[in-house]
Amino acid sequence: QVQLVQSGAEVKKPGASVKVSCKASGYSFISYDINWVRQAPGQGLEWMGWMNPNSGNAGYAQKFQGRVTMTRSTSITTAYMELSSLRSEDTAVYYCARRNDWHSPDYWGQGTLVTVSS
Amino acid sequence: DVQMTQSPSSLSASVGDRVTITCRASQSINSWLAWFQQRPGKAPKLLIYQASTLESGVPSRFSGSGSGTEFTLTISSLQPDDFATYYCQQYNSYSWTFGQGTKVDIK
């Protein structure tokens, strides 16, 4: 069965970087884009960007341009999202999600809580 | 960027009620719209994609309609399991936008 398993919770200081991993299994990793979505406490869902595991190409929401990098390792079927220059407003649960053929996220990771605090 | 306006932001309903949630896009997105259910502390769950296609395993009491800029999620007979927050999501030009969410709670 399709599974996306994310890395554990992180606590970071303002100005630091965080790298969240998303291990895919149960399907052909290179055949589906991975998107990243975050959710601040008590807030809605916010799209951050996409990454094509086959080519390594990525596209980012304007809000995160220059601060986010999405990469992958095909040998271990894992996608990564790195966010730099963290500030308190980046405190959120970060999700990876597989995009289906109709541009909708059909499978989601369990989420990774990133807390930014001095 | 395409903006999504979802309404209402919250509603109270009883088991057995028919519930309707609406999303409006700031420009035409054809049928590139999905609906999700999210329970507290859990990842969102895909219910409907391509505006009206039911995801495998989702109960048939959920349905979606619309195209262009106006979309609707309908729950025909609300069940105890359905009290949650619902989001719409659009795709346009390699980017996604989510609606603000609709919290459905017990009247």
pLDDT digits over A28-67, tens only? 999 999 999 999 999 999 999 999 999 999 999 999 999 9
What's the one-letter identity of residue A59? G
> CA–CA distance from A65 to each of A37, A48, A69, A84, A85 (Å)?
14, 9, 9, 11, 12
pLDDT number for residue B94: 85
**Bond into B8 cis (ω within 30):** yes
CB contact under 8 A, B96 and A103: yes
Q: How far apart are CA B62 and CA B21, in angstroms?
A: 11
Tens digit of each residue's pLDDT (9 = 90 or more) over B47-81: 999 999 999 999 999 999 999 999 999 999 999 99
pLDDT tens, residue by residue, B5-37: 999 999 999 999 999 999 999 999 999 999 999
CB pairs under 8 A between A and B: 56
**Cβ distance of B91 and A103 shorter than 8 Å:** yes
Helices and strands: H and E segment counts in chain A: 0, 11
Residue B11 CA: distances (Å) to CA of A4, A8, B77, B104 = 32, 34, 15, 5
Closest Cα in chain B, distance from residue A95 (Å): 8
Specify burial of residue B6 (Cβ count, 10 A radius: 0-12, 13-18, 19+): buried
Residue of B nearest to A45 (CA): B98
Taking CA–CA distances from A105, the nearest residue in chain B reads B46
Nearest to B33 by CA among B68, B8, B62: B68
- Measured between CA atoms, the residue of chain A closest to residue B100 is A44
- The beta-carbon neighbor of B101 closest among A44, A106, A110 is A44
Query: What is the separation of C-alpha B33 from the centre of its chain, rounded to a whole number of angstroms?
Result: 9
How many Cα atoms sit within 13 Å of A18 on the Cβ side? Answer: 25
Identify whether the C-beta of residue B74 lies closer than 8 Å to the C-beta of residue B65. yes
Residues of B with CB under 8 A from a CB of A: 1, 32, 34, 36, 38, 43-46, 49-50, 53, 55, 87, 89, 91, 94-101
Contacts of B58 (CB under 8 A, 6+ apart): B46, B47, B48
List of residues 6+ apart from A80 with CB closer than 8 A: A19, A20, A21, A22, A70, A71, A72, A73
Q: Does the beta-carbon distance from B98 to A47 stay under 8 Å?
A: yes
Cβ pair A104:B44 closer than 8 A: no
**pLDDT tens digits for A56-100?**
999 999 999 999 999 999 999 999 999 999 999 999 999 999 999
* Closest CA of chain B from A16, distance in Å: 26
- pLDDT surpassing 90 at residue B107: no
CA distance B2 to chain A (A): 12
What confidence score (pLDDT) does residue B93 get? 82
